[in-house]
Amino acid sequence: MNRLRWRKGVDRFWTVVSGVAVLAAVIPLASLLWLVISHGAPGLTAGFFTSLPTPVGEPGGGVGNAIVGTFFMVGIASLFALPVGIGAGIFLAEKGDGKLGSIVRFTAEVLSGVPSIVIGIVAYGLVVSHMKRFSALAGGVALALLMVPSLARSTEEFIRLVPSALREASLALGVPAWKTSLRVILRTAVGGIVTAVLLAVARAAGETAPLLFTALNNQYWNTDPFQPTASLTVQIYNYAISPYDDWHQKAWTAALVLLLLVGLLNLVARFLSRNRLQGAPR
């Protein structure tokens, strides 16, 4: 009887341990979110979204050019990454069971673990070292290289969610295989693919390291792909490591803006993937 009580005690002990683990993860998260919001919110004015950064000590100013720069470079990245990433994902889902498929899949898995700073060096080599200047294009290429592998894998997974019964149904109607893939399978998976794209875009928008020496930074508005360009993340970094209190304040506000942007993209992505394929035959 005593033995049983001991064993039950052990059981309870480990349950508590797992609860402590949860607290160890949730408390820092809560602290982080709360501080970004509470420190960031006071600086959140309309001007913060529309103005250029001001020098130290000068009031006002914002990160308008950095927001535009982030969108601009993520746009350039999507231009390269979406066709290749989605195309590779379709390949993996449709023809990925063979030898080439498993090689491509393994490559995608391993590439998605390559540190983003290393990808920055690659983009530097591909673009900056040839053009002899930092540019939005180089930043975009870096982000694209980061997006492709994960986009390929998530596209594959969303396409594979489409029940094979739909493929059978279409083929049994005498529809050729390629039309079946394009107009039945992909048509059904399109919501999932949009989700994958939004998640990839959200991740790219939050990247800093590969932009430090590809896009560099810029104190002014820029929409020339061949010029250095500001981004929200690099701006947060520069503000944060500066010794000035009013720049620290701007770092928090810019972080709040970035968090809202990334959070919004994630929310939309979740919403879309939840509504997809509900009730579809298995």
By CB under 8 A, tell whether 167 contacts another protein: yes
C-alpha to C-alpha distance for 224 and 227, rounded to whole angstroms: 6
By CB under 8 A, tell whether 148 contacts another protein: yes
Given candidates 197, 236, 253, 272, which one binds another protein under the rule CB under 8 A? Answer: 236
Amino acid at the residue 182: L
- Min dist CB 52 to another protein, Å, is 20
By CB under 8 A, tell whether 35 contacts another protein: yes
By CB under 8 A, tell whether 233 contacts another protein: yes
Given candidates 66, 67, 138, 212, which one binds another protein under the rule CB under 8 A? Answer: 212
Which residues ranging from 78 to 137 are in contact with another protein (CB under 8 A)? 83-84, 87-88, 90-92, 94-97, 100-101, 103-104, 106-111, 113-122, 124-126, 129, 134
By CB under 8 A, tell whether 28 contacts another protein: yes
Q: Which is nearer to another protein, 41 or 165 (CB)?
A: 165
Q: Which is nearer to another protein, 54 or 249 (CB)?
A: 249
- Min dist CB 61 to another protein, Å, is 18
By CB under 8 A, tell whether 161 contacts another protein: no
- Between 62 and 81, how does the x/- string for binding to another protein read (CB under 8 A)? --------------------
Given candidates 63, 76, 138, 152, which one binds another protein under the rule CB under 8 A? Answer: 152
Which residues ranging from 7 to 26 are in contact with another protein (CB under 8 A)? 7-8, 10-11, 13-15, 17-22, 24-26
Neighbours of 135 (CB within 10 A): 23
CB 188, CB 162: distance < 8 Å: yes
Half-sphere exposure of 101 (CA within 13 A, CB side): 11
Residue by residue, DSSP assigns 130-173 as HHTS--HHHHHHHHHHHHHHHHHHHHHHHHHTS-HHHHHHHHHT
Residue ranges of alpha helices (H) inside the chain are 2-40, 46-50, 64-95, 99-111, 116-123, 129-131, 136-160, 164-172, 177-179, 186-205, 232-240, 245-275
Residues 6+ positions from 53 with CB-CB distance below 8 Å:
61, 62, 63, 65, 66, 219, 235, 250
Q: Which is nearer to another protein, 41 or 241 (CB)?
A: 241
Cβ burial 63-89 (10 Å sphere, 16+ → b, else e): bbbbbbbbebbbebbbebbbebbbebb
By CB under 8 A, tell whether 240 contacts another protein: yes
Given candidates 29, 99, 132, 243, which one binds another protein under the rule CB under 8 A? Answer: 29
Given candidates 138, 150, 252, 272, which one binds another protein under the rule CB under 8 A? Answer: 252
